[in-house]
Amino acid sequence: MLCLGFAFLYIPIFLLIFYSFNYSKVVPVWGGFSLRWYVELFQSEEIWKSVVLSLEIAIMNATFATLLGALAGITMARIKQFRGRTLFSGMISAPLVMPEVITGLSLLLLFITMAEVIGWPTRGITTITIAHITFSLAYVAVIVQSRLVGVDESLEEAAQDLGAKPFRVLIDITIPLLAPALVAGWLLAFTLSLDDLVIASFVSGPGANTLPMLIYSRVKLGLKPDVNALATIIILIVSIGVCIAGWILSRQERQRVLDMQMAESGKFDQNEDEPVRA
Amino acid sequence: MNTQTDNNNLFADQPWLDPERSPFVKIQSLTKTFGSFTAVSSVDLDIYEGELFSLLGGSGCGKSTLLRMLAGFETPTSGNIFIDDTDMSNVPPYQRPVNMMFQSYALFPHMSVEQNIAYGLKQDGIAKNDIAERVENMLTIVQLTQFAKRKPHQLSGGQRQRVALARALVKKPKVLLLDEPLGALDKRLREQTQFELMNIQEQLGITFIVVTHDQEEAMTLSTRIAVMDQGRFSQIGTPTDIYEYPETRFVANFIGSANMFEGRVVENGADYVTVKTVGSDLSFYIDHSAAVRENTAVWVALRPEKILVSATPPEEQSQYNSVEGVVDDIGYLGNFSIYKIRLANDKIIEITHPNQSRPKHGSHLAQWEEKVYLRWADHSPVLLTK
């Protein structure tokens, strides 16, 4: 069963990579090995424009969503009691379960109304970014909150006890401890934004085509192999990224475990943990 | 002038007895409730400068809450805390003249040993050179100089404990709060560290307030101990006071072990009290007086090590402070053995007896089911009314 699942997951990807090197213009017909579509891809201004737009949106979204989501997450994890806490936590997690179509549609309505009333924003990169931030920050908030729940609160108390004002504690202690969660949140927000087709389609304006929107519209006009080439490049970048991240993480973890074992067994050096006999 | 000096000498080790000294930490009818649960219930406490004071109690007795109120992490529901004559009510934790050593040590994992210790000094805006010097000094005191660049996870438990201590001490607080300072160490290390802690405290002269559930730790370390139960102090006194003269049944049972007898006062003389126990012939003659009326229900506590055992009947029979029984169980602990003696009314009395010679050479007092005779001195039993 598992093999079947993996087969359905990975065979299409391999097929896609395989056909990206196909000379033939008709996708399922093998016309010999060629880099033709890669060349064409690099010459297509339309595709590059959408790639740049998608990346711009993804980076802005990830950054703002991480900032706001972290604040929300810290509030949720560290402030035990305030008026409307339940409402706040519900509202934070609502975007996680809200169907995208509804989020997209309602945001579109909002943007249209705003444009009429105050003349801002024009639909395009701004509206897509705002829309993406609204739902990505929920994911970041959840990641940050769950990480912070696992962090010993006495670390922050200790900093306060040593004379650090609450803001300093946030900068010196809480945020460094949250770093892994913030990086994870940023990457997730980045991916969510890069991935999103539905909401972007709703709130985008003329001329602002993100990469998923472009690919989707092209596929509707019939499969063209340069999309395969593009997909192959994306897969390559993602795989390299995942491998590097995994390698760094496992190396850090191994080093940490080793350090701890050595500290406990006292093999770090000769002069170890022999308590003073005063 | 002369009497003044005498007074100072007299009370040097016991400042709480000196009527002229004013307390350094003053707690006045302090209460803390969480919802309907009362963690600390209207307690008063005076702690003097240079003391090593222990708050001792089981889990949930309110000792940690009290400590956290001193540090400023919990706001009292009512009552006041004064440190060095300053009201702490509206002083946030980061401005209090106290530092705390946390049970988990709470070392900052992303900072080196050096940075951890320097953190508090940095917050005070002290010049870099001074910080470096004071950190260096502190590292020497806790013997961690060669570990300065390590991260906390590269240290053993004992080393981490010393970093936490150094970090809390480097700011020269007026009062150092220690939450179960030795709780995470193994037994051998704990015993050694106890004495280290006392040395450091004497060296620096800082007032220590220690929270602990370990009575042995409290006994070894402290100048005075407050035994806490259900948010109140059961008794405050020196380790000797608390062990030898417990005031309540809770204290007698909590500190060390005690054989407890329920009885009624028969006679209350000028300097003695006699008590007849309920359900047996056993009677106590206690050589101190107490404010109890005859025929009131009381308890008598008797420490296991204060009971003398012999296999032969005593030469002169006395109606008081002696009883006979049968050995029910023997526990050999190496340095001493625990004997459980069953009395005629099936009550079990616990006795500890030092193993001065090896078993083969006849140190075992008695064997299972053997009849033994118990007696104790008139000053051994403690009369308890609460």
> Are A275 and B192 a contacting pair at CB < 8 A?
yes
**Are B81 and B173 found together in one domain?**
yes
> Is residue A4 assigned to a domain?
no
> Is residue B4 assigned to a domain?
no
| Domains contained in chain B, number | 2
Give the residue from A7, A36, A40 showing the smallest Cα distance to A19: A36
Pairwise CA distance, residues A178 & A175, whole Å: 5
Domain span at A146: 49-225
Tell me whether the omega of the peptide bond preceding residue B92 falls within 30 degrees of 0, making it cis. no
At B55 the pLDDT is 93
A268 pLDDT above the threshold of 80: no
**Residue at token pair 């101990």:** B225
**Are B157 and B43 found together in one domain?**
yes
**Are B45 and B116 found together in one domain?**
yes
Pairwise CA distance, residues A272 & B159, whole Å: 9
A50-92 confidence digits (pLDDT tens): 999 999 999 999 999 999 999 999 988 888 888 888 898 888 8
Give the domain CATH number at B154. 3.40.50.300
Amino acid code (one letter) for B76: P
**Are B219 and B354 found together in one domain?**
no
> Is residue B6 assigned to a domain?
no
First to last CA, chain B: 43
A2 pLDDT above the threshold of 90: no
At B323 the pLDDT is 83
> Please, which contacts does B308-311 make with residues 24 or more away whose CB atoms are closer than 8 Å?
B308/B374, B308/B375, B308/B376, B309/B339, B309/B341, B309/B351, B309/B353, B309/B365, B309/B366, B309/B372, B309/B373, B309/B374, B310/B365, B310/B372, B310/B373, B311/B365, B311/B366, B311/B370, B311/B371, B311/B372, B311/B373
Pairwise CA distance, residues A159 & A175, whole Å: 13
> Are A273 and B119 a contacting pair at CB < 8 A?
no
The per-residue DSSP string of A22-81 comes to: B--SSTTS---B--HHHHHHHH-HHHHHHHHHHHHHHHHHHHHHHHHHHHHHHHHHH---
> Is residue A32 assigned to a domain?
no
Pairwise CA distance, residues B359 & B366, whole Å: 11
Per-residue pLDDT of chain B (386 residues; tens, 9 = 90+): 444 445 556 677 788 887 778 888 999 999 999 988 989 998 999 999 888 999 998 888 889 999 999 999 999 999 999 998 899 988 999 999 999 999 989 999 999 999 999 999 999 989 999 999 999 998 988 889 999 999 998 898 889 988 999 999 898 888 999 998 887 777 778 888 888 888 888 888 889 999 999 888 888 888 899 999 988 898 999 999 899 888 888 998 888 888 888 888 888 877 888 888 887 778 888 887 777 778 888 888 888 888 888 878 877 777 788 888 888 888 888 888 888 888 888 888 898 888 877 766 655 667 777 888 888 888 888 888 87
Here the tokens at position B289 are: 């007086």
Of A256, A259, A276, which has the smallest distance from its Cβ to B196's Cβ?
A276
Chain A residue numbers with beta carbons less than 8 Å from the beta carbon of B110 are 176-177
CA geometry: angle B376, B381, B386, nearest 5 deg: 160
> Is residue A56 assigned to a domain?
yes
Chain B residue numbers with beta carbons less than 8 Å from the beta carbon of A269 are 146
Is-contact B134 B153, C-beta < 8 A?
no
**Are B134 and B163 found together in one domain?**
yes
Pairwise CA distance, residues A37 & A40, whole Å: 5
Give the domain CATH number at A96. 1.10.3720.10
Last residue of a domain, one of B214, B249, B284: B249
Give the residue from B365, B361, B315, B370 showing the smallest Cα distance to B342: B370
**Are B288 and B173 found together in one domain?**
no
Domain span at B120: 11-249
The minimum CA-CA distance between A140 and chain B, rounded to whole Å, is: 22
Pairwise CA distance, residues B275 & B286, whole Å: 8
**Are B293 and B270 found together in one domain?**
yes
**Are B16 and B134 found together in one domain?**
yes
Cβ contacts of residue B62 below 8 Å, gap of 6+? B32, B39, B40, B41, B228, B230, B231, B232
Nearest CA in chain B to A178: B110
CA distances from residue B335 to B190, B350, B359, B366 in whole angstroms, order as listed: 20, 16, 12, 17
Pairwise CA distance, residues A98 & A227, whole Å: 30
Average pLDDT, chain A: 87
| Domains contained in chain A, number | 1
> Is residue B1 assigned to a domain?
no
**Are B263 and B216 found together in one domain?**
no
> Is residue A247 assigned to a domain?
no
Last residue of a domain, one of B221, B249, B277: B249
Last residue of a domain, one of B211, B231, B249: B249
> Is residue A248 assigned to a domain?
no
Chain B residue numbers with beta carbons less than 8 Å from the beta carbon of A264 are 156-157
Q: Record the pTM.
A: 0.81
> Does the CB of A45 have a partner CB in chain B at under 8 Å?
no
B166-207 confidence digits (pLDDT tens): 999 898 888 999 998 887 777 778 888 888 888 888 888 889
> Is residue A67 assigned to a domain?
yes
**Are B189 and B272 found together in one domain?**
no
Relative to beta strand B98-101, strand B175-179 is parallel
Chain B residue numbers with beta carbons less than 8 Å from the beta carbon of A152 are 104, 106
Alpha helices in A162-224, H assignment, sequence order: 166-169, 175-195, 198-203, 211-220
> Is residue B203 assigned to a domain?
yes
> Is residue A209 assigned to a domain?
yes
**Are B185 and B280 found together in one domain?**
no
**Are B213 and B83 found together in one domain?**
yes
Give the domain CATH number at B344. 2.40.50.140
E strand intervals along chain B: 25-34, 37-47, 52-56, 78-83, 86-87, 98-101, 175-179, 207-212, 224-229, 232-237, 259-268, 273-277, 283-286, 297-302, 308-310, 322-332, 336-343, 348-354, 371-375, 382-384
Is-contact B56 B239, C-beta < 8 A?
no
> Is residue A27 assigned to a domain?
no
Rounded to whole angstroms, the maximal C-alpha distance in chain A is 86
3-state secondary structure B90-152: CCCHHHCCEEEECCCCCCCCCCCHHHHHHHHHHHCCCCHHHHHHHHHHHHHHCCCHHHCCCCH
> Does the CB of A272 have a partner CB in chain B at under 8 Å?
yes
> Is residue B88 assigned to a domain?
yes
